[in-house]
Structure 1
């Protein structure tokens, strides 16, 4: 099955060169769900590009009858971030010109309608009330139409003589490709050294298991500015409105952020886990035909541990120095157990000292800093 390849101009540079996006669209013989998968939103987090490359090779070999619906793949979705360097190191987490995190710039429908409507608290609730007698598919179509009606207004500013900051145009381009998706997958990696896991949203635990990863983190607190949050937040809010009205509604709309390995590397094991999990997710969600068989077909559900984002604790250096004897990534820890030691070379005419840091909670280490030389207040490790 050959994809439809679309090249989308993104930004003209001072040199006259134009940065572009390239989308690979695989469309099945029968209609169904739309899956949107992107990678490399943060410049140093390149592992998802290898995942998407292998998915393209996989889909290329299918017949169009094997695919129900369509899959859109967008590797290297942020060329500005991907190309950003500091000496030998990829950075690209922030737009250097605007000092913004590339994954905290997205348009949130819920915030937008509150900003532009005097009756802020009742607009979503009123919409839900007007849909009480309709079936789920009609409600979904009507709400998606309402979202699109607000979203398209952004073009007025983009096309004005005044123009807009680049992050506004960039975020509009990505969201315009994904706004009508049913399932969204944004592939990241740790900025430091991290495990393979995913972020998910409430009431989606069963689908999370399809990715066959060891653990997932529930985003119980979010503001809607990240890519996955901006996509699913309106649907979660509408579900809550129906609940207030005494009707249980759950849309088949899902958003995932896969965290695979560490920055600046495409670790083969992390790539393999990402590809395997996404294939299984597509199969279990009915995007791959029922009679299509995956090689070495994995179990339907995976034994998965679920954690909550607000329960995670990040440890920051209490003094400047060098990290010594740090506990290993993935290690289980108990309250009071030593996590690491800082070698502090003070400038007070005294001998160097060591500072021992101990765990304030039970859990396991899911993220550690890449640099073991830290200034006071810099990140050392995370426990959840």
Structure 2
């Protein structure tokens, strides 16, 4: 099947050039869920673009009856970040003009939902799908007010304009998948939200990190947080509800690289997920995630290690290693300007855990990131 391809203008530059997004919409013959998938929100995190390309090639081979609902794919979703360069490096993590993380700029309805309890009480005996439509209507009504600011003579900063364009595409989705990579070197894993462990297994990753603490400004958080708040409010009022709405961030290995293994894991994971959720309806589709064992940990159990002195990192433990408390993680070869000989400083683990993320640069200033351990 062929997609509907739509281009959306993002920004006019001082030179007169315009930056745009391209959206590929695969629309099935059967009604169903809307899936929104994007990649490259951070400029150096490019593996997701290869994942989306391979997904597009796969969807071209299926027929419309094989798809229930629709899948929207947005590769290179942040051209400002993608095009940013500093010598050989492709940072693109921050909007340098506004000094904001590109993934900490999104609109979270839950922060302004002062009438959530009243709304929940009014929906206590209403069908779940009707509740979803009623709540989504309110979210959309509040979201349109952003457009009023954009169209006003004073306009808004670019990060607000940009976040509006992305969220406008995804606001009414059922399942949202945001494809990322580490800024440095990392394993493949995913972030998920409470009560979604069963669905997380469909991706076939070895471990997932529960976001148990978050502020709602990230893309996946802003999407799902209002619905989690509504679920919690229903529970407090005596009704158990779980909306079939999910948000995922897939972390696909190392930044500035399209690692083939990470890309393959992302492609297979997304296909498995879509099949298990009933979006892909291909009878002979093979899936080995039903019996997949996955380790779940909480984001609050992450421990990041920052350099206790400036110098060069040596003898660093390998990515993917399990460490015990007190075991050496790395050494800092530290120089000085005090007429003394260089010295070597051992840094040891403060907790047991898995080394899941390590810095690319092994020359560090005091206080810069070296590695991350999660338990």
User: 1:301 and 1:37, CA in 2 relative to 1: closer, same or farther beyond 3 A?
Assistant: farther
Runs of 4+ residues deviating >3 angstroms: none
Please name the residue that 1:293 is paired with: 284
Question: What's the offset of the Cα at 1:110?
Answer: 1.1
| Structure 1 match to 2:43 | 43
Correspondence for 1:326: 316
Do structure 1's residue 238 and structure 2's residue 230 form an aligned pair? yes
- Give the aligned partner of residue 92 of structure 1: 92
Give me the whole-angstrom Cα distance separating, in 2, the residues matched to 1:293 and 1:176. 35
Equivalent in 297, 301, 308 of residue 311 of structure 1: 301
Q: Residues of 2 paired with 1:209 and 1:65: CA distance?
A: 26
Q: Unmatched 5+ residue regions in structure 2?
A: none
Q: Distance in 2 between matches of 1:292 and 1:278?
A: 17
Q: Within the alignment, does 1:78 sit opposite 2:85 as a pair?
A: no
Structure 1 position 225 matched with structure 2 position 217: yes
Residues 1:23 and 1:301: Cα distance change in structure 2 (over 3 Å): farther
Provide the C-alpha distance between the structure 2 equivalents of 1:132 and 1:112, rounded to a whole number of angstroms: 21
SS in 2 for 1:383: strand
**CA separation in 1, counterparts of 2:291 and 2:63?**
26
TM-score relative to the length of structure 1 = 0.96
Instruction: Provide the aligned length of Structure 1 versus Structure 2.
Output: 374
1:165-204 → structure 2 map (5 Å cutoff):
165-204=157-196
Alpha-carbon distance in structure 2 between the residues aligned to 1:354 and 1:283: 53
What CA distance in whole angstroms lies between the structure 2 residues aligned with 1:293 and 1:225?
Answer: 40
Secondary structure at 1:174's aligned position in 2? helix
Separation of aligned partners in 2, 1:301 and 1:255: 22
Give the Cα separation in 1 of the matches to 2:72 and 2:190: 20
Relative to 1, partners in 2 of residues 1:297 and 1:110: Cα closer, same or farther, differing over 3 Å? closer
Q: Distance in 1 between matches of 2:213 and 2:343?
A: 39
Could you say what the CA RMSD is over the residues aligned between the two structures, in angstroms?
A: 0.7
1:172 to 1:301, Cα distance in 2 relative to 1, 3 A: farther
The reply on whether 1:275 has 2:267 as its aligned counterpart is: yes
Q: CA deviation at 1:54?
A: 0.2
Q: Does 1:207 align with 2:202?
A: no
- For structure 1, the residue ranges without an aligned partner over 5 or more in a row are 114-119
